[in-house]
A and B are shown apart, each in its own frame.
Chain A
Amino acid sequence: MTRIFASAGAEFRIALRNRWVTIAVTMMALFSIVLSAAGSAPTGVLGADKLSVTVASLTSLAVYLVPLLALLMSFDAVAGEVERGTLPLVLTYPVSRAELLLGKFVAHLMILGLAVAVGYGIAAAAAITIDPHASAGIPALIRLFWTSLLLGAAFIAIGYALSAIARRPGAAAGLAIGLWLAMIVLYDLGLLAAVVADSGGYFTIHVFPWMLIANPADAFRLYNLAASEATAAAAGIGGAASTIPAAHALASIILWPLVGLVLATLAFRKVTP
């Protein structure tokens, strides 16, 4: 435990010096401010409180931004140490590779948590100021916060695995961007195309829901939308959300960080200093 916290402490300090903490927090804050400003028009037709609507918008934002931030912080974790030549020395210390990764993981997750908290905090404050009934949306906001952490955790861990596989920061960055495009943008487009082509056949009914759950970003979106009817209505994909039990989506976003960490540790073990 001491060793994990020691390496988390060093990693957090490095991120602070490299301005990663500032970049992450500023990015989340800026997007939340823009989102709050854009969504400040009256929404009486939906019959939902202001904060719930904000949470729905934040969910769509988080699906893109949280994995991106997570991958940006994590792609350098192993490859960077290989390139700087800092790996051989630390690996002769009585600390396991899993502990080193967990240390980095704790630090990166803390930074992500900070950024997400600031961003969501700003958006929530804006919503509550405009709409006095907005406090009804607070449970949804809290749910969004911790699921965002799980989503980020999954992509941080996957980023470590890519970093260990690539062994060079340049290659790792390329893999990370490619993965983000594939899992966040292209995956949904591909599924959508398949569903359209299938037009309500076997794929749409039996395969499609599972493929949605298999992707942590989609599972995250589904869980947050399914858990809140109002936001589901606001987001307009209640149809997809209703066919999949929320528990399945939740299981997916809890499992992914664990699977990612196992994959990352296995890949890191293959790196010879």
Chain B
Amino acid sequence: MTNLTLSQVTKTFDQTRALDGVGFTVASGERVALLGHNGAGKSTLMKIILGLIPFDSGTVTVMGDAPGSHAARRQVAYLPENVAFHPALTGLEQIRYYLRLRGENPGAAMGLLERVGLSDAAKRRIGTYSKGMRQRVGLAQALIGNPRLLVLDEPTSGLDPVSRREFYAMLDELATEGAAILLSSHALTEVEARTDRIVILSKGVMVANDTLAALRRQAALPTHLQVIARPGAADAVAAQLHGARMNGVMVNLTCAHDEKLARLGQVTALGAMIEDVEVIPPSLEDIYSHFSLQADGRAIR
């Protein structure tokens, strides 16, 4: 089942095209990461999905309904970027309020705060909370009810590495229960193992929408081999492998993904001259820049 469908969504602010023909889907149980630079249109797209701002053309359906309709809002949870609450309320009061707005039992508030590790601070005012703690209140409210679609705008900002891990574990649970999850992030490294699919926005244009493995193949970025030669053998190794000698012992090789094994064969053939070899696949940041820069080229044209 498709919980979120976007097709040809276009949005223009004054003269700037914030979103240009964006279309993708998020199915039940699927975790999709939305990546892009600042100003790529991530938050704008999320606000459109939530019905907070109108869009110019295209279609958006949330659980079969129009975005922002009462029926859609009942089934969607949102965590805004830099989530804010009234500083005079305690975490517990704030969550009780949100529970009542969703027609749920306010007695569930403490359980939710326990789930995000805030039970000790539950009765303190939010004004005294750190950014990470406010983020946890934001997560707690996003867990209210049984949301079928979670829209999370940079959900892990302000969280320490341990909390991030716990947070992604929580997302896994929700996805297993059938929720569709759309989360934005700056860093591909963070979402790589945690999401099923990656959508990259660049200047409002969707430049990628696939699994990480498929994106890696499409980008076809070169793999680097770092060969460490035995002392004194570096020049000979560099000459035989047609590589560039970096320092006394290291030789750098670059090859396409499918040439990697052949290249490694050549390295091992040198036998005793080789101390060690490292295979360095294109980093996630390389893949991300590859797609982002592609869009820049298109924008210039």
Interface residues of A (CB under 8 A from B): 2-3, 5-7, 9-10, 13-14, 17-18, 84-86, 88-96, 272-273
Interface centre among B52, B78, B94, B101 (most CB of A within 10 A): B101
Contact partners of A10 in chain B: CB under 8 A? 86, 89, 93-94, 97
Establish whether residues A273 and B88, one from each chain, have CB atoms under 8 Å apart when the complex forms.
Answer: no
Q: How does the 8 Å CB contact mask read for B110-125 relative to A, with 1 for contact and 0 for none?
A: 0000000000000001
Establish whether residues A18 and B88, one from each chain, have CB atoms under 8 Å apart when the complex forms.
Answer: yes
Chain B, range 54-92, C-beta contacts under 8 Å to A: 70, 73-74, 76-80, 82-89
Contact partners of A96 in chain B: CB under 8 A? 70
> B102 interface residue, CB < 8 Å from A?
yes
Query: Which residue on A lies nearest to B84, using beta carbons?
Result: A85
Contact partners of A85 in chain B: CB under 8 A? 80, 82-84
Establish whether residues B86 and A92, one from each chain, have CB atoms under 8 Å apart when the complex forms.
Answer: no
- Pick the 3 closest A-B CB pairs, nearest first: A6-B100, A85-B84, A17-B88
Establish whether residues B76 and A92, one from each chain, have CB atoms under 8 Å apart when the complex forms.
Answer: yes
Establish whether residues B52 and A273, one from each chain, have CB atoms under 8 Å apart when the complex forms.
Answer: yes
Establish whether residues B97 and A84, one from each chain, have CB atoms under 8 Å apart when the complex forms.
Answer: no
Establish whether residues A3 and B101, one from each chain, have CB atoms under 8 Å apart when the complex forms.
Answer: yes
Nearest chain A CB to B151's CB is how many angstroms away? 8
Establish whether residues A14 and B80, one from each chain, have CB atoms under 8 Å apart when the complex forms.
Answer: no
Q: Complex formed: what's the CA distance from A66 to B100 in Å?
A: 31
What would be 8 A-B contacts, judged by CB atoms less than 8 Å apart?
Answer: A3-B100, A84-B84, A85-B83, A88-B80, A89-B79, A89-B84, A92-B78, A93-B102
Contact of A93 among B53, B84, B101 (CB under 8 A): B101
Q: Complex formed: what's the CA distance from A4 to B78 in Å?
A: 21
Nearest chain B CB to A183's CB is how many angstroms away? 30
Interface size on B, residues (CB 8 A): 32
Contact partners of B70 in chain A: CB under 8 A? 94, 96
Query: Which residue on B lies nearest to A3, using beta carbons?
Result: B101
Establish whether residues A14 and B141, one from each chain, have CB atoms under 8 Å apart when the complex forms.
Answer: no
Q: Complex formed: what's the CA distance from A114 to B73 in Å?
A: 36
Nearest chain A CB to B287's CB is how many angstroms away? 31
Q: Complex formed: what's the CA distance from A257 to B143 in Å?
A: 38
Q: Complex formed: what's the CA distance from A110 to B23 in Å?
A: 49
Establish whether residues A14 and B89, one from each chain, have CB atoms under 8 Å apart when the complex forms.
Answer: yes
Contact partners of A13 in chain B: CB under 8 A? 88-89, 93
- With contact pairs A88-B80, A272-B52 given, residues A93 and B86 touching in the complex (Cβ less than 8 Å): no
Contact of B52 among A2, A91, A94 (CB under 8 A): A91
Contact partners of A3 in chain B: CB under 8 A? 100-101, 103
Establish whether residues B86 and A84, one from each chain, have CB atoms under 8 Å apart when the complex forms.
Answer: yes
Establish whether residues B73 and A92, one from each chain, have CB atoms under 8 Å apart when the complex forms.
Answer: yes
Q: Complex formed: what's the CA distance from A247 to B98 in Å?
A: 43
Query: Which residue on B lies nearest to A99, using beta carbons?
Result: B101
Establish whether residues B52 and A86, one from each chain, have CB atoms under 8 Å apart when the complex forms.
Answer: no
Nearest chain B CB to A236's CB is how many angstroms away? 45
> B203 interface residue, CB < 8 Å from A?
no
Q: Complex formed: what's the CA distance from A6 to B79 in Å?
A: 20
> B216 interface residue, CB < 8 Å from A?
no
Query: Which residue on B lies nearest to A18, using beta carbons?
Result: B88
Q: Complex formed: what's the CA distance from A272 to B102 in Å?
A: 22
> B148 interface residue, CB < 8 Å from A?
no
Q: Complex formed: what's the CA distance from A10 to B74 in Å?
A: 20
Nearest chain B CB to A207's CB is how many angstroms away? 44
Establish whether residues A89 and B141, one from each chain, have CB atoms under 8 Å apart when the complex forms.
Answer: yes
> B50 interface residue, CB < 8 Å from A?
yes
Nearest chain A CB to B20's CB is how many angstroms away? 20
Nearest chain A CB to B97's CB is how many angstroms away? 4
- With contact pairs A2-B103, A9-B97, A10-B97 given, residues A94 and B88 touching in the complex (Cβ less than 8 Å): no
Contact partners of A2 in chain B: CB under 8 A? 100, 103
Query: Which residue on B lies nearest to A88, using beta carbons?
Result: B80
Contact partners of A272 in chain B: CB under 8 A? 52-53
